[in-house]
Structure 1
Amino acid sequence: MKGTSSMTDERLPLYQRLRDDMLSKISAGEWTPGGAIPTEAELTKHYGVAVGTLRKAVDTLVQDGLMKRSQGRGTFILRPNFEGSLFRFFRQVDARGDRRIPISRILDRQLESPARYVADALELAPLEKVIRLERIRQIDGVTLLHEDIWLPASCFEALMQIDTDDFGNLLYPFYEAQCGQLIGSARETLTVETADQKLADILEIDTEQPVVMIERLAFGYDRTPLEYRRSRGPADTFRYQVDIT
């Protein structure tokens, strides 16, 4: 397979190696989310594989929601809607009932040595540092969420030089613009706990009141862990819905 990276695991089936190499091209910025990938003819020539193998590799990316085929136009790289994911759980409406993206404010930013659970989640080497962000998300001055966010310092060092007032409300486009880091997928876990005094003060709720925590591990398109996040909000604003068919 002449076009693949030297980092490809030769033990994997050929279509999986193609898939991984395509994802590495997105992570490296060779292919851009929102844009079309090269044609089948171009890719089969580049990789030196049969069209059936190539299609199987692309099929897996389509099934994972990372790409979408458009009849007569080609195959396009998708940009996941992570904000839609998070706020399907918490109400994001103002006093009039209109849906809005909450305003975000960074409370603290530190370069630090990570706790073990953070280092394990981000698969960090010993002595690697992280950038920790603490922020809140509000609508009309009401705090909906408190978030602790950890990022590998080696990938996001540029964030230490930017005024926290300039971070904006959506972090993933900001990571891409400032650090060249693309978030392609994430895994979320929901748990319920009680608010300690600090969290209760921030969320303006009673101590020991139930809060929902959404724990998110976000990955680059090549499945490299890039962000570990814990978002907490009052349980009485939480709503879970799933359609079962």
Structure 2
Amino acid sequence: MSDWKEGSDARLPLYQRLREEIMDRIASGEWPPGGTIPTEAELTRRYGIAVGTVRRAIDTLVNEGLLERSQGRGTFVRRPDFDASFFRFFRQVNAEGESRVPSSRILSATLSTPPVEASRALGLADNEPCLCLDRLRTLEDDSLLTEKIWLPASRFSGLLEVPLEEFGTLLYPFYEARFGQRIGSARETLTIASADASTAGRLGIAPRDPVVVIERIALGYDRTPLEYRCSMGAAATFRYQIEIS
């Protein structure tokens, strides 16, 4: 007997329906990040479809980076390392050249009207209020990044009651543990801008000095926008590195 969730769109090709089904079960927490999904044989029996169709759906999600196969162990829900992008872009060494892991601190959490780009990225109505986190990332005594992070209030109810010290260094595990919101993927855009007085003061640079701006839209496993963030760092500490083979 098939086990499609109510609301599954029968107009879609079967592999596409299964892809959406798998994403929905991941987003709901039934198949959590880091865990395995049922085997191809189990999915074939559960949904009453051919193994080739199941394999195509899984291949699509593997190519999209949401699942990963492990030989002899099964297919896992991938938990991406989102902070790695910042660590590629900004130097993380002290005066002696030793590698260090940046720390982070939430300076404030407020409810306010987001800028147009944040509202559009999150799919909010005009002037719909949004939760805003103001965060500073530091490397020892030096400011590395200043960030504004916008979250839809409907999905993060109760966030303003959380003491700032309880947010922790990594926000995505915090979102998952406290609000059941799981980040599955993200898109980032890098641009260069001039620092305004406030940003310059945060980063310890002069006003109008160049800064690298990283805009990120983070999505749930069902592709719902869950976070918009704008991070700024001094261009003098920026580096770009890529391996080409």
Which bracket does the TM-score occupy, shorter chain normalised? over 0.9
Shift of 1:112: 1.7
State the alpha-carbon separation in 1 of the partners of residues 87 and 48 from structure 2. 44
Distance of 1:123 and 1:49 partners within structure 2: 35
Residue range with higher mean Cα deviation, 208-217 or 150-159: 150-159
Give 1:79 shift: 0.4
SS at match of 1:119: helix
Per-residue CA distance 1:118-169 (angstroms, 9 max, x = gap)? 1110012456431001110001121000001000011112321110111111
Corresponding residue of 1:187: 187
Gaps of 5+ in 1: none
* Matched letter for residue 211 of structure 2: V
SS at match of 1:54: helix
Unaligned stretches of 5+ residues in structure 2: none
Q: Is the 8 A contact 2:2 2:45 kept in 1?
A: no
Secondary structure of 1:150's counterpart equals strand
Matched letter for residue 199 of structure 1: T
The amino acid that maps onto 2:212 is V
- SS of the aligned residue for 2:176 comes to helix
Contact 1:102 1:169 in 2 (8 A): no
The alignment covers a number of residue pairs equal to 245
* RMSD across aligned positions (CA): 1.6
68-77 or 195-204, which moves further after superposition?
68-77
Q: Is the 8 A contact 2:212 2:233 kept in 1?
A: yes
Of 204-213 and 157-166, the range deviating more from structure 2: 157-166
Structure 2 partner of 1:22: 22
CA distance in 1, matches of 2:217, 2:104: 20
Q: Percent identity?
A: 57
CA shift, 1:76, in A, is: 0.9
Question: Could you tell me how far apart the structure 1 residues matched to 2:86 and 2:19 are?
Answer: 27
The 3 A distance-change label for structure 1 pair 18 and 125 is farther
Report which stretch shifted further, 119-128 or 19-28: 119-128
Contact 1:212–1:233 (8 Å) recurs in 2? yes
Give the aligned partner of residue 91 of structure 2: 91
**Residue in 1 that maps onto 2:225:** 225
- 3-state DSSP of counterpart to 1:156: coil
Between the aligned partners of 2:22 and 2:100, the Cα distance in structure 1 is 35
Q: What's the offset of the Cα at 1:4?
A: 2.6
CA, structure 1 residues 205+127, in 2 after alignment: closer, same or farther (shift >3 Å)?
A: closer
